[in-house]
Amino acid sequence: MNSVITHQVELLYAKSNRLIDLIENKSMFGIFGTGKLAQDCYAKIKEMGHTASFFVDRNEEDGIFMNLPLKTIKYISQKNIPLLVASTWAKEITLDLIATGFKGEVFVIDPFVTVFERMKINDTKELIGFYASLEDDISKKTLCDIISFRCGDVDKISTSSYPQYMSPNVLYSSSDIMIDGGAYIGDTIQSLDCHNVFVREIHAFEPDLENFQALALYGNKTKLKVVSNNLGLWSSEQELKFSANDTVSYGRRVDEEGGVAIHTTSIDGYVNSHGIEPTIIKLDIEGAEMHALVGAKNIIATKKPKLAISLYHSQADLWRIPAFIRSLNPDYLFYLGHHRSNWMETVLYAQSKVS
């Protein structure tokens, strides 16, 4: 096994456990940020029985935030205290901190606050196994860079050279039938139009009513055949609570405390009731990817559609989703793309080696 990936995974494993140790040992640390992510991070830490020591932001003077001291970058630059960077601008913030001489350890908090879970030995095995299953060196480097970023080496992150959901290794054709899970306002369909990519038809799913209305409007304009569904994708037909928070781009998702009810379906159920055989499944559904894959296990196991699956909504999705897909069908060839210079927009591309 490649010694580089083994070392990277060991670093991530150690990093994950040091973060939990900080909280369980009630150690001193700060949170960089004052936005929604920083507030969610603080709330999660309090749920775990501890609290941060202070907040840091780009303010020029000390203050108070959420009843804790709010410090300046100048203040933290003189300290050797762990810092949880809770911002989608983690790369830029971390590089700025290093430039000021900050020597403390940086923990990058993901936008969905899922890093507060210890990695287990089996997780490391699955992550190393994912690396081994990747088909090309570019994908393997992408995975190593993502792990480096999550360990705080933020300048390692780089973006793929091709448009999101359009890997040159997993090509679409005019005969393809696509499931577009998390169709949003039709942005993936618009991208297909922009790049002159033709598929036979698209069955688009968007549970948020406001987004769905925009999706349906674009679906009537595009030259592609689009069937728009005001449904979420899940493991089964259900009514679920949904957050319609629009203060951040990732705020609309299944949430037990959400104030909106949505209806869901499974891909297997939809395929059976509509008499279609999808050849592409794309999922970007704000953390519900694993649930949707459970609801697509029959079509994946038997028909082997091409896949474009988001791996970034939970820290563990990076290894658990590829492992689950492989358990359904070991014939898939895996490729990895990353499409933003932060934690977000990591996509697994897959197609079967057996036609």
Give pLDDT tens digits for 188-229: 999 999 999 999 999 999 999 999 999 999 999 999 999 999
Distance between CA 316 and CA 158 in Å, rounded? 20
Q: What pLDDT score was predicted for residue 295?
A: 97
Same-domain status, 171 and 86: no
CATH number, domain with residue 180? 3.40.50.150
Indicate the residue among 98, 121, 144 that finishes a domain: 121
CATH number, domain with residue 104? 3.40.50.20
Would residue 137 count as lying in a domain? no
Would residue 345 count as lying in a domain? yes
Distances (CA, A) of 198 to 131, 171, 204, 280, 297: 31, 11, 15, 13, 26
How many distinct structural domains can be found in the chain? Answer: 2
Same-domain status, 51 and 174: no
Does the global pTM surpass 0.95?
no
Quick: pLDDT tens for 260-298: 788 999 999 999 999 999 999 999 998 999 999 999 999
Same-domain status, 196 and 101: no
Please say if the pLDDT value at position 299 is more than 80: yes
Same-domain status, 99 and 165: no
Instruction: Name the residue range of residue 41's domain.
Output: 3-121
Query: What band does 38 get if pLDDT is binned at 50, 70 and 90?
Result: very high
Order across the sheet with 54-56: list the strands.
63-65, 68-71, 54-56, 30-32, 83-85, 106-108
Q: What pLDDT score was predicted for residue 248?
A: 45
Same-domain status, 47 and 108: yes
